């Protein structure tokens, strides 16, 4: 059976995490970040950084493109299901009716965003600080419909997921002369760490206590990076991956400082780099046959508007592919990663 080991891990996590009474393990999930976590917050924006059109979503429920940069579900969707939620956390900025839709949390993540505000501004999407403003609005709505004591219980007991970094480099630093002529990628990482630290402190001030932060994946293994920067070997580009490794070291050390600084904070860096790297470089061990190119089109550069219904050569079976487009993984990959992330996040669930 394809992905049999991943399925076994997935099943065991479902059994372990979902209480016998059927209630979710945590009261709510709150999601901030970029396209790896965006479930449709950009759908109403005038931006190229959205995916509410085919073939995105072709393998999602009812084959509907929702704004997820994937053929199906994101890691956060699988994580939500494994934690016992019967519906995915909604994209807050596109909710027509809030009310009870807010009780399980919400997603504020915006594709094209990142830790640095200029990343989002380049793509006309929501910065992390703007996502935080949505969260403040969410809190007011939650208090209105549940009362302050219940709202505070949901806010303090919920799990917060904050993801960024990929867009800061791929969609900002490496294409923005204002940054790459002024700073080395390592210096830019240090700047991003200050942005990250400021955001966590603001989130903490709004009541967040259990925060999971995925590490930066090996961005040098994205098909688009290999295509543009990997000639002639067409393997993962080491200079990009070395930046990711440095970034993750700084992420860990900065997070340790935040834990000492903020009483009662439970902050966990969720390691993703190594598993991502292993899958890309040994895909057959995880049930995949293609890790060099994405499913959409020829899979070497297509992403966003270039991944569309007219894209030539889009694969039939995306479950054989690590990548859906030239940056974002497939549903099959996300299912494996979600099980790993939940294992990493276990200290937040106690």
Per-residue pLDDT, averaged over 243-249, amounts to 98
CA angle 26, 32, 35 (to 5 degrees): 120
In angstroms, rounded to a whole number, what is the distance separating the alpha carbons of residues 213 and 169?
17
Q: Where are the beta strands (DSSP E) in the chain?
A: 29-32, 105-107, 159-162, 210-214, 266-270
Q: What local confidence, expressed as pLDDT, does residue 21 receive?
A: 60
Q: What local confidence, expressed as pLDDT, does residue 347 receive?
A: 95
- Name the nearest CA neighbour of 185 among 92, 320, 106, 193: 193
Q: What local confidence, expressed as pLDDT, does residue 100 receive?
A: 86
The DSSP letter of residue 291 is -
Q: What local confidence, expressed as pLDDT, does residue 16 receive?
A: 45
In angstroms, rounded to a whole number, what is the distance separating the alpha carbons of residues 276 and 283?
10
Q: What local confidence, expressed as pLDDT, does residue 9 receive?
A: 46
In angstroms, rounded to a whole number, what is the distance separating the alpha carbons of residues 324 and 314?
9
- Report residue 12's pLDDT band, with 50, 70 and 90 as the boundaries: very low
Look at residue 125 and give its three-state secondary structure: coil
Q: Could you read off the pLDDT of 107-151 as tens digits, one per residue?
A: 999 999 999 999 999 999 999 999 999 999 999 999 999 999 999
- Report residue 10's pLDDT band, with 50, 70 and 90 as the boundaries: very low
What percentage of residues in the chain have a pLDDT greater than 70? 94
Mean of the per-residue pLDDT values for the chain?
93
pLDDT at 203 over 70: yes
In angstroms, rounded to a whole number, what is the distance separating the alpha carbons of residues 30 and 85?
13
- Report residue 101's pLDDT band, with 50, 70 and 90 as the boundaries: confident
- 10 Å Cβ neighbour count for 8? 12
Q: What local confidence, expressed as pLDDT, does residue 6 receive?
A: 53
DSSP, residue by residue, 29-95: EEEESSTTT-SSTTTTSSSSS---STTTTTTSGGG---S-SSSS--HHHHHHHHTT-SSPPPBGGG-
- Residues pairing with 329 in the sheet: 323
In angstroms, rounded to a whole number, what is the distance separating the alpha carbons of residues 94 and 15?
33
The angle, 0 to 180 degrees and rounded to 10, between the axes of the packed helices 331-344 and 75-82 is 50
**Which run of H or E residues covers position 121?**
helix 117-122
Q: Could you read off the pLDDT of 257-316 as tens digits, one per residue?
A: 999 999 999 999 999 999 999 999 999 999 999 999 999 999 989 999 999 887 778 899
Give the burial string for 195-207 (b: 16+ CB within 10 Å, else e). bbbebbeebbeeb
- Report residue 4's pLDDT band, with 50, 70 and 90 as the boundaries: low
Supply the CATH classification number for the domain 4-219+237-282+332-344.
3.40.50
What does each C-alpha distance from 323 to 20, 223, 236, 239 come to in angstroms? Answer: 35, 8, 14, 21
The DSSP letter of residue 331 is H
Phi-psi region of 21 (alpha: psi -120 to 50; beta: other; left: phi over 0): alpha
Of 94-103, 175-184, 234-243, the least confident: 94-103
pLDDT at 62 over 80: yes
- Report residue 3's pLDDT band, with 50, 70 and 90 as the boundaries: low
Of 97-101, 134-138, 174-178, the least confident: 97-101
pLDDT at 246 over 80: yes
The DSSP letter of residue 146 is H
pLDDT at 14 over 70: no
In angstroms, rounded to a whole number, what is the distance separating the alpha carbons of residues 41 and 35?
10
> Which residues are catalytic, by number?
35, 325, 328
Per-residue pLDDT, averaged over 78-91, amounts to 96
pTM here is 0.94
């Amino acid at each position: 059976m394809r992905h049999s080991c991943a399925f076994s891990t997935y099943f065991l996590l479902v059994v372990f995490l979902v209480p016998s009474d059927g209630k979710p393990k945590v009261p709510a999930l709150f999601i901030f970040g970029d396209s790896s976590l965006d479930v449709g917050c950009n759908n109403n924006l005038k931006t190229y950084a959205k995916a509410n059109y085919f073939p995105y979503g072709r393998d999602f429920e009812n084959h509907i493109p929702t704004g997820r940069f994937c053929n199906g579900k994101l890691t956060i969707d699988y994580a939500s299901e494994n934690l016992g939620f019967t519906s995915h956390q909604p994209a807050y900025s596109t909710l027509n009716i809030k009310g009870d839709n807010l009780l399980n949390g919400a997603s504020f993540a915006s594709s094209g965003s990142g830790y640095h505000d200029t990343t989002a501004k380049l793509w006309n999407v929501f910065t992390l600080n703007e996502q935080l403003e949505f969260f403040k609005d969410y809190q007011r709505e939650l208090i209105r419909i549940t009362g302050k004591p219940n709202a505070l219980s949901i806010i303090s007991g919920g799990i917060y997921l904050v993801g960024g970094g990929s867009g800061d480099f791929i969609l900002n630093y490496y294409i923005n002369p204002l940054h790459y002529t002024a700073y080395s990628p390592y210096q830019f990482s240090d700047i991003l760490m200050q942005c990250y630290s400021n955001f966590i402190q603001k989130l903490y001030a709004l009541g967040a206590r259990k925060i999971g932060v995925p590490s930066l994946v090996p961005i040098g293994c994205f098909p688009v990076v290999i295509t543009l920067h990997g000639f002639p070997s067409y393997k993962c580009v080491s200079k990009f991956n070395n930046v990711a490794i440095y970034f993750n070291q700084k992420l860990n050390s900065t997070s340790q400082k935040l834990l000492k600084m903020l009483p009662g904070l439970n902050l966990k860096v969720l390691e993703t780099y190594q598993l991502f790297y292993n899958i890309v470089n040994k895909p057959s061990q995880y049930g995949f046959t293609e890790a060099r190119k994405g499913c959409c089109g020829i899979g070497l550069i297509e992403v966003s508007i270039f991944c569309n219904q007219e894209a030539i050569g889009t694969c039939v079976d995306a479950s054989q592919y690590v990548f859906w487009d030239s940056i974002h993984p497939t549903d099959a990959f996300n299912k494996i990663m979600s099980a790993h992330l939940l294992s990493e996040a276990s200290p937040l669930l106690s």
